[in-house]
Chains A and B, each alone.
Chain A
Amino acid sequence: MADETVKTPLLEVADIKKWFPLKTLPFSEKKYIKAVDGISFTLHENETLGVVGESGCGKSTLGRTIMNLLPPSAGKVVFQGKVIQELSPKELREMRQQLQIIFQDPYASLNPRFTVGEIIGEPLAIQGKLTKKEQVQKVKEIMAKVGLNVNYINRYPHEFSGGQRQRIGIARAIILEPSVIVCDEPVSALDVSIQAQVINLLKDLQAEMGLAYIFISHDLSVVRHVSDRVMVMYLGQVMEMADKEDLYHRTLHPYTKALLSAVPVADRHVKKEKLMLKGDLPSPADPPSGCCFHTRCVFAQELCRTQTPELTEYRKNHFCRCHFADKNEGEYHEDYKN
């Protein structure tokens, strides 16, 4: 993994927040859904940052806020030394070439009225730097690169399988040769047999094109396979962030431990200790006081209910938001050892 002190990060997210206002009665106190609540991280060239957490924890909102599809309520996103929120429309369009997204649903992310050629070629048409003939040529090259039959260039999305559609989405994202791609749960809607194909394709493209990924998922096994660093989110906040091996073997946060304990292992000889979470995910509109995880944490103390823990670096590049992280330190789960 890149040394953060030496290399300038490609992407820097600084204390970003995305709060959605709730409709309230006139003259009553304004309420917000705190989908993303003060997240900071950096991303370097050719690196993959995995973002994990339960449904509704703000992973996708984070991805879309980074992309500037949703304007942040606070904080800033610095891409290649420029603050995205401060760019002019022209500069923003140029920046879009370098920052792309792959969506979760391969069915909803492709315009049903466009042919595959039009879908993949749309970025080129918008940027308008190539002739029609050159665009078609480039589209065919990219189709071949992602393993799509070039003869299907004039077919429509509904004629393809889920895996093929996701490859169309990937082709659209890489055609402008970006440096960062936000992968918003790109395999969660696919069959397990197809997931491996898509993940391997993403890894091959990363090696070939030097891409950096923000890989959003709720599947810890997938994240482990693709990521260099992993960030665990809960109720819009970072609970733990560390290098992959460090996070999987030397887990600090009880929430991460609970998530890891829920991952099934295809070996009946391995006995796993299940760390069950209490209750349901609290509403982001009304988060608990103190540590937002205390309502479900089996180790919660009085301190957790009253005082919000800071995201602290307990080991080199290993951050955790827990009052008792130093007491939790240690190896976790035999089955995660290589």
Chain B
Amino acid sequence: MTHADRHHLPEDSFERIDVSQSSEREKIAAPSLNFLQDSWRRLRKNKGAVVSLAVLSVIAVLAFGSIWLTPHDPTKQNISYVNLPPKIPGVSINGFNGTAKVGQQVVDKYAQAKVPADVHFFLGTDGLGRDVLSRLLMGTRSSLIIAFAAALLDVTIGLVYGLFSGLKGGRTDNIMQRILEVLSGVPNLVVMILFLTIFKPGMKTIILAMIVTGWITMARVVRAQTLKVKDQEFVLAAMTLGAPQWQIAVKHVLPNISSVVIVQMMFSIPSAIFFEAFLSFIGLGLTPPVSSLGIMLSEGYKTFRFLPHLMWVPAVTLSAVMICFNLLADGMRDAFDPKMKD
């Protein structure tokens, strides 16, 4: 073939591709999954996260179900039934059958206190004769409500502040970040204690005390993510289409930082539970007769040597809730952003 012929190849050297073949080549066979479906598919593969989710679901159902249904009234005191050991029907193991060791003898405490045969305190009673299980359910509910409310408000304030700061940029962002630095320089425990000593103790006060400094971390995380997302080309594309700033924030930035926000919130819940427990433990939290895990720990701690179950029960519950939340948050982080996983 000569150099001139090179540009005049015969037509039969080529095979024409039918359009249908090309559309067949571009066919998408996989089922369509949106972001949440895809994340859920990945989360299900994480055993730790799934078990944690199941445990938390059971705890939440029991805690919130106890509003309508509890074995006993959690605030009702009965001096006759003070410090009874756990008694589970059909269980004959010492420590769970209503008996306790007094000196060298095993004594049936329920018979001593003349408790009717059909009355059982599954986790025993406290120093005021209140049912520990009912108080545990009430306490878990209080702790979860405080933690969720505080985390939700942290997210709301932090999200608005961080989004605004990140999207505005320039001098506004600079000033807003300096404000954050000043606020984060103040120890949050000091702020909480001051807050609780000034205002009347209660659930609202604890939530407010937690929010005062709790939103700062969220604001920083949101701002960092906003700065990352706002320079991406799909945001620029929205700008070229003439989308207003609020629409860019709500429709483009927010959905793309939501996974980080959710994970951050999931990590802040156990920390809020711990803070509530700590404040109640040192006597600055909820006031009796309302129960919380911190109050139960505080009460159980005083009699730990003689009645260890009064401390073990809230301690194990608190630990389980915190560990499960952390494991679930870890699992969610991996599910939302698989590239982050090493």
Query: Is B30's CB within 8 Å of the partner chain A?
Result: yes
> Contacts A154-B32, A160-B28 hold; do A122 and B23 have CB atoms under 8 A apart?
no
CA distance A105 to B252 in the complex (A): 17
Query: Is B233's CB within 8 Å of the partner chain A?
Result: yes
A101:B242 contact, CB within 8 angstroms = no
The total of chain B residues at the interface (CB under 8 A) is 26
CA distance A76 to B156 in the complex (A): 42
Query: Is B3's CB within 8 Å of the partner chain A?
Result: yes
Q: Which residue of B lies closest to A115 (CB)?
A: B34
Query: Is B82's CB within 8 Å of the partner chain A?
Result: no
Nearest CB of chain B from residue A191's CB, rounded to whole Å: 13
> Contacts A159-B28, A159-B32 hold; do A108 and B242 have CB atoms under 8 A apart?
no
Q: Which residues of A contact B27 (CB under 8 A)?
A: 149
Query: Is A172's CB within 8 Å of the partner chain B?
Result: yes
A100:B240 contact, CB within 8 angstroms = yes
Query: Is A126's CB within 8 Å of the partner chain B?
Result: yes
Query: Is B256's CB within 8 Å of the partner chain A?
Result: yes
Interface residue SS majority, chain A: loop
Of A93, A109, A127, the residue contacting B237 (CB under 8 A) is A109
A113:B255 contact, CB within 8 angstroms = yes
Q: Which residues of B contact A94 (CB under 8 A)?
A: 242
A108:B241 contact, CB within 8 angstroms = no
The total of chain A residues at the interface (CB under 8 A) is 39
B35:A101 contact, CB within 8 angstroms = no
Query: Is B113's CB within 8 Å of the partner chain A?
Result: no
A108:B233 contact, CB within 8 angstroms = yes
> Contacts A69-B236, A269-B3 hold; do A111 and B252 have CB atoms under 8 A apart?
yes
Q: Which residues of B contact A123 (CB under 8 A)?
A: 241
- Chain B positions within 8 Å of A, measured between CB atoms, are 3, 6, 23, 26-28, 30, 32-35, 232-234, 236-243, 247, 252, 255-256
| A–B Cβ pairs within 8 angstroms, 20 of them | A67-B240, A97-B242, A99-B240, A100-B240, A104-B233, A108-B232, A109-B233, A111-B252, A112-B256, A122-B241, A123-B241, A126-B238, A126-B241, A126-B243, A126-B247, A127-B242, A149-B23, A156-B34, A160-B28, A172-B237
